[in-house]
Structure 1
Amino acid sequence: MLDIAEELDRWAGQERDFAVATVVATHGSSPRQPGAALAVDSDGRAVGSVSGGCVESAVYALCQQALADGESVLESFGHSDEDAFAVGLTCGGVIDILITPVRRDAPARDVLTTAYAAAAQGSSVALARVVEGPRELLGSALLVHPDGGYEGGLGGDRELERTAAGEARALLDAGRTGVVTIGADGSRCGRPLTLLVESSVPAPRMIVFGAIDFAAALVRAGKFLGHHVTVCDARPVFATKERFPEADAVVVDWPHRYLETAQLDSRSVLCVLTHDAKFDVPLLERALRLPVAYVGAMGSRRTHLERNERLREVGVTAPELARLRSPIGLDLGARTPEETALSIAAEIVAARRGGSGAPLAGARTPIHHDEPRHALRGVGVVA
């Protein structure tokens, strides 16, 4: 639900009653992943999506029912379900969806609304909710902070809460949303619990090195993909906010020096567009040793070979060189800055999701390359 946090935060501030449907787990091909949400308020207004259209009407009706009776429900929808909006998921997958009423009298409302506010402000938090387990715990929620502190409760079982907070913090550290199971030995409740943990983390960083005309198009592509985009160049006449108005930051500094102080993580993307050895070599020497998601460098094939030789001369190893995407981008036949930015963005997505970059038409590879998530089975009403 944190993907629509800004709107939910606004609804909560207006003291509206609403219900939120959240994708808990998926199996097979499915249009949305865990954490995707659809919310419906008491006036019938809706925001978000859980299926891209396949079962939206059925989920909308369940949200209205949850608002009326105050009970949460975990429902499964799949291609074989007769009541999943007549046709179910036409993509052939199965999704489990938790519908939670967020009425003013709901016990977990304070925790949920605090989570919406934190996510809307870009804070790092994880929302952990019980989706399978003892009836008295279902619907309980914890809001977990990066330091391990938490708000809310799981029936007053401190041992269980500490265990759940630890699991949620681990997913938060990785910037991931997913389902985790705590064994019966994790608490005094006597049976395993399944938690949906939704992580809200700041946008992943994209740093574009080289304030050239192609960089402006790549900034726009990076913003479209949801990145926090920085342009860095040592030349103040080119690295200006006027030339890159859509960038979150424009930095005048030597690229390798800026990289040494930049706050990066495993989701960060580094795009080197300078194709000038005095900038590229010291920059890539450092970049290829960082645990980031993607390092790409622009240049012709001849430039690529010469750059690789210089990098070997300064001690970059073969495994480190293998991480370099160069020449940068997928083969789209791109010529214009916009087309080139599209080819780079496509390669970044393929690297992140495990795609091949090959046409889907005629291919036998999966459309979605995310690691499989198994659906929850045999779960009924959640109170």
Structure 2
Amino acid sequence: MLNIADTLYDWCLEARPFALATVVHVSGSAPLPPGTALAVNAGGDVVGSVSGGCVEGAVYELCTQLLADGGAPVRARFGYSDDAFAVGLTCGGEIDVLVQRVDPSGLPHLVTALEEVRQGRPAAVVQVVDGPKEVIGRTLSVFGGGSAYDGTLGGSREDRVVAAQARALLRVGRTGLAEVGGDADTCPQRLTLLVHTGAPRPRMLIFGAVDFAAALSRAGRFLGYRVTVCDARPVFAQPGRFPEADEVVVEWPHHYLERTETDRRTAVCVLTHDLKFDVPLLRHALGLRVGYVGAMGSRRTHEQRMGALREAGVSADRLARLHSPIGLDLGARTPEETAVSITAEIIAHTNAGTGLPLSQGTGPIHHRARSPRRRLPQTTHPS
């Protein structure tokens, strides 16, 4: 639901009830991941998507019907259909969508969570998507990086267990399913939760204030990163040269990296290809728990750099984490093409993709993690 946080927040401030349709499970080649949502208010306004267009009409009808009759949440399944006039996914996958009515006046914690996300502060909204029917659709929100929570799923013990699960996903900035309960040590009811996380933007740290950095900062900003360009040379590290960067820092790269905040989503891109900058910077970067470390340079530069890093005491395991020369082989020449090459490699690495043309592969296009789930009574559509 956080993909439409801005609009939902506005509706909440206006105390406008709405129907929320959330993707809670996908299998096969489904277009959008769990947590993606569509919402419809009482005036018929719609925001968001659950399928990229394939089944939006049917989901819209479910939403308007639920708003009209005020019924209990309903879970609908949409699968493949080769009938051009049937409701279904043309991509061959399957999605489960939970549709529920939301009255903002009764969920102040949800309003707070939406505001936190809009302001770029960490928050998570936990939604019960499977379990006893009386708790389906209930929500709880976690704030401040997981230090506080509000809302209830039925009891204080359950709430504490659920908040702990949400904190774990919030720490890594990942929306996903979690199973809790079913035993005396946690809570008696077994629940399947969808934890919607709104973490601050991941960071892209670009070292080297060069033309390639300007293009990469534009690409990184487009992909949703908070982009920093850092260079020790003030004549080159000018904010006007990097208008798409969130900040431009004049400092020795390794000193900046030592003092700045990183996490497992951070991408470190070293474009200086100068050993006096590269070696101390990469020695530190390869020891951090960051998502990606890449360094620009020719094959010859790469070999020189690897030798210098070995001499500096960097272990073979850490060197194996280095993407060098940086980027995928796209035949890139210009700074803009090179930026696409680099960001393509970051995306492939982050999502465990092969980097191969889809036309040369087999199997589902979209990689999904499988999660066990119990089944609710469902509305079945052609598949």
TM superposition score normalised by structure 1 = 0.93
TM-aligned CA distance change 1:184 to 1:234, over 3 Å: same
In the TM superposition, what whole-angstrom CA distance separates every residue of 1:91-136 from its partner, at most 9, and x where no partner exists?
Answer: 111111111222356x4x3232222112111111111111122222
Aligned partner letter, 1:295: V
TM-aligned CA distance change 1:189 to 1:355, over 3 Å: closer
CA distance in 1, matches of 2:13, 2:82: 38
In the TM superposition, what whole-angstrom CA distance separates every residue of 1:13-56 from its partner, at most 9, and x where no partner exists?
Answer: 23323222111111122100011111112222221111111111
1:376 Cα deviation after fit: 5.3
What does residue 179 of structure 1 align with? 177
Please tell me whether residue 351 in structure 1 is matched to residue 349 in structure 2: yes
CA distance in 2, matches of 1:316, 1:127: 41
* Partners of 1:148 and 1:165 within 8 A in 2: no
- Correspondences of 1:316-335 after superposition (within 5 Å): 316-335=314-333
What does residue 92 of structure 2 align with? 92
What does residue 153 of structure 1 align with? 152
Aligned partner letter, 1:211: A
CA distance in 1, matches of 2:328, 2:222: 18
1:372 Cα deviation after fit: 3.0
What does residue 240 of structure 1 align with? 238
What does residue 14 of structure 2 align with? 14
What does residue 166 of structure 1 align with? 164
What does residue 39 of structure 2 align with? 39
* Alignment length (residue pairs): 377
SS of the aligned residue for 1:263 comes to: coil
In the TM superposition, what whole-angstrom CA distance separates every residue of 1:301-358 from its partner, at most 9, and x where no partner exists?
Answer: 0000000000000001111111111111000100001000000010000000111111
Please tell me whether residue 113 in structure 1 is matched to residue 106 in structure 2: no
What does residue 266 of structure 2 align with? 268
What does residue 73 of structure 1 align with? 74
Please tell me whether residue 229 in structure 1 is matched to residue 230 in structure 2: no
TM-aligned CA distance change 1:189 to 1:331, over 3 Å: closer
CA distance in 1, matches of 2:290, 2:268: 8
1:366 Cα deviation after fit: 3.7
SS of the aligned residue for 1:33 comes to: coil
In the TM superposition, what whole-angstrom CA distance separates every residue of 1:217-257 from its partner, at most 9, and x where no partner exists?
Answer: 00010011110000000011111111111111111000000
SS of the aligned residue for 1:208 comes to: strand
TM-aligned CA distance change 1:186 to 1:336, over 3 Å: farther
RMSD of equivalent CA atoms:
2.0
Aligned partner letter, 1:222: G
CA distance in 1, matches of 2:28, 2:361: 17
CA distance in 2, matches of 1:169, 1:379: 30
What does residue 301 of structure 1 align with? 299
1:368 Cα deviation after fit: 1.9
TM-aligned CA distance change 1:127 to 1:85, over 3 Å: farther
CA distance in 2, matches of 1:334, 1:92: 34
* Partners of 1:55 and 1:85 within 8 A in 2: no
CA distance in 2, matches of 1:336, 1:267: 27
In the TM superposition, what whole-angstrom CA distance separates every residue of 1:1-21 from its partner, at most 9, and x where no partner exists?
Answer: 011111211222233232221
Aligned partner letter, 2:180: I
What does residue 370 of structure 2 align with? 372
Aligned partner letter, 2:245: A
* Partners of 1:203 and 1:228 within 8 A in 2: yes
What does residue 359 of structure 2 align with? 361
TM-aligned CA distance change 1:231 to 1:59, over 3 Å: same
* Partners of 2:180 and 2:187 within 8 A in 1: no
Given the alignment, which residue of 138, 142, 145 partners 1:144?
142
Aligned partner letter, 2:28: G
TM superposition score normalised by structure 2 = 0.93
CA distance in 2, matches of 1:205, 1:57: 37
Aligned partner letter, 1:299: G
* Partners of 1:130 and 1:194 within 8 A in 2: yes
SS of the aligned residue for 1:259 comes to: helix
CA distance in 1, matches of 2:372, 2:365: 17
Given the alignment, which residue of 313, 335, 338 partners 1:337?
335
In the TM superposition, what whole-angstrom CA distance separates every residue of 1:183-236 from its partner, at most 9, and x where no partner exists?
Answer: 322589743111111111000000000000111100010011110000000011
* Partners of 1:67 and 1:103 within 8 A in 2: no
TM-aligned CA distance change 1:263 to 1:372, over 3 Å: same
TM-aligned CA distance change 1:323 to 1:286, over 3 Å: same
CA distance in 2, matches of 1:376, 1:217: 47
What does residue 205 of structure 1 align with? 203
Structure 1: runs of 5 or more not aligned: none
Aligned partner letter, 1:77: F
1:149 Cα deviation after fit: 2.0
